Amino acid sequence: MEIIPAIDIIEGKCVRLTQGDYAQKKVYNKHPLEVAKKFEGAGLSRLHLVDLDGAKAGQVKNWKVLETIAGKTSLVIDFGGGIKKEDDVKIVFNSGAALATVGSIAVKDENELLRWFGIFGADKFLLGADVKDEKIAVSGWLETTDIWIDDFIEKYIKHGVKQLFCTDVSKDGKLEGPAVELYRNIVQKFPGLHFIASGGVSNMDDLYKLSDAGCKSAIIGKAIYEGRIRVEDLRFEI
């Protein structure tokens, strides 16, 4: 199982939120490039970069951070947060991202997302699914839809999506362990999907559980920054 470290950006700084709450913000490093280089130095090859300012504003804001990290590391970066228009997608790719991460638009404007798939290719997008009680949540997790996660995944696989990460919003940022059974069920139903677990990882044991559940990758953020997991321990695939 591949490990994907996360860097969340507010005002150009590396931060973490708890359950998506901007009021529960903690700054870990004022220089995201330093953090990215540490990940690269530990032998990790991917990075999950989230523009929290962009997510709040509804348009990409921290593309300069992306450009800097992409230009000064060899990390394969997926970038999300505020990608609402085609111009945002272009900025993300022009700034060096390998994948554009999209979430809410897949629920709120499917036709526009499919248009982007036609322009850039569906395989250039990493689809994010925030889930509460097995239903899709949007708008910073404030709104739960009536869309079941399985139906959501099935639809977008048919549209050509290859990679998807799923976050159980009740787990994220709380270091209480991931939603292993939810992820196990998804992997069993969609064996051809590159499924990425996200949220709740608190220690190495959680990673072994996710690997046993069949997850292809796992995104880790707070557990690294809080010292629960050493970057050096992530050097090899789990």
CA 203 to chain centre: 18
Q: Which of 8, 51, 53, 78 is catalytic?
A: 8
Which distant-in-sequence residues (6+ apart) come within 8 Å of 123 by Cβ? 160, 161, 162
Please confirm, yes or no, whether 150 is among the known catalytic residues: no
Which residue has tokens 């530990």?
A: 42
Please confirm, yes or no, whether 130 is among the known catalytic residues: yes
The distance in angstroms from the start CA to the end CA of the chain is 5
Q: How many CA atoms lie within 13 A of 73 on its CB side?
A: 27
Q: Is the dihedral of CA 13, 59, 25, 38 positive or negative?
A: negative
Q: Which of 130, 168, 172, 206 is catalytic?
A: 130
Residue 4's nearest CA partner among 212, 216, 178, 225 is: 216
Element (H, E) at 38: helix 32-41
Alpha-carbon gap, residue 207 to 2, rounded angstroms: 10
Alpha-carbon gap, residue 238 to 223, rounded angstroms: 16
Task: Specify whether the CB–CB gap between 3 and 234 falls below 8 A.
Answer: yes
Would you name the residues annotated as active-site residues?
Answer: 8, 130
